[in-house]
Amino acid sequence: MAPPSRWNFPASTISPTDPMPYRERFERLSTEELLGYLRLDLASDAKPVLLRVLAARGVSSATIELVLASEAARQEEECHQQKRMASQGARLLAFAIDFGLATLAFGALMALLKPVMDATAEPFASGIWWAYMMLRDAVPGGSAGKRLMKMRVVRIPGERRMTLGASFFRNLTHFFFMIDALFILGERRMRLGDRLAGTIVLRRDAVGASIPPAACPPAQQNP
């Protein structure tokens, strides 16, 4: 159930200074919207009024407890997932490692191929560089940078194995690197490429954090 959106301000801002009393405000909403408000962080004196309005409409305490329990479970799962997410710093460092290694490989290829391929050496080496940078997340086990930083990229929902297509679309947004990178500062740490490809970046382990592995079939996990 989505949180109510009848007003332009969040429910958590409701306070005794609002011109409209709590009861009058709540009574204008549908029962479904009121149950949505139960999931939000209301002002301390607004919650009892909300519960009284729900009771007056015949909503059972069991229903209210079920909504509250499901919201608590959602928040716990969200917290659990946040702990499993790779940090922003580690992700940027992994990208720098991949970029650096690909550039070194480009230089080495140029040195080897230039004497024998001449004019075609640079396009060939450039093609190898771009292929790695665009498709590296589909490499079994992950790219070199992500291996070193102990991270893995998976598709959501279900934490499925990366494909060549998903890796291509995920890395396509590197053309707008500065804007793209800013998005990993968000709560879900999903840059534009992650949103486009439907991917997230997880830590490979969670040593000392008591975080169990994701509940998904082993065949869908990156090796």
Residues 47 and 128 in one domain: no
Tell which phi-psi region holds residue 189, choosing left (phi > 0), alpha (psi between -120 and 50) or beta: left
Same domain, 54 and 107: no
With contact defined as beta carbons under 8 Å apart, do 34 and 67 qualify?
A: no
Element (H, E) at 23: helix 22-27
Among 27, 53, 84, where does a domain finish? 84
How many other C-beta atoms lie within 10 A of the C-beta of residue 193? 24
Please give the Cα distance from 67 to 72 (Å, whole number). Answer: 9
Residue 4, in any domain of the structure: no
Is 141 in the same domain as 202? yes
- Any domain includes 156: yes
CA distances (Å), origin 207, targets 87, 211, 215, 216: 15, 8, 17, 20
Q: 5 in a domain, yes or no?
A: no
Same domain, 104 and 164: yes
Is residue 103 assigned to a domain? yes
Specify whether 160 is located in the same domain as 118: yes
Domain boundary among 45, 63, 84: 84
104 in the same domain as 182: yes
Can you give the residue range of the structural domain that contains 42?
11-84
Residues 102, 207: one domain? yes
As for how many domains the chain has, the answer is 2
> Is 169 inside any structural domain?
yes
Tell me if 3 is assigned to some domain.
Answer: no
pLDDT of residue 80: 66
Is 146 found in the same domain as 54? no
What's phi and psi for 22, nearest 5 deg? -55, -50
Same domain, 174 and 72: no
Out of 50, 84, 118, pick the residue that ends a domain.
Answer: 84
Q: Quick one: 46 and 79 in the same domain?
A: yes
Mark whether 94 and 23 lie in a shared domain: no
Q: Is residue 2 part of a domain?
A: no
109 and 15 in a common domain? no
**pLDDT tens, N- to C-terminus, the chain (223 residues):** 444 433 333 444 444 444 468 888 888 888 888 888 888 877 778 888 888 889 888 888 888 888 888 887 777 776 766 678 888 889 989 999 999 999 999 999 888 888 877 788 888 889 999 999 999 999 988 899 999 999 999 998 888 899 999 999 999 998 887 787 777 776 677 888 899 899 999 988 743 333 344 433 333 333 3
Asked whether residue 1 is domain-assigned, the answer is no
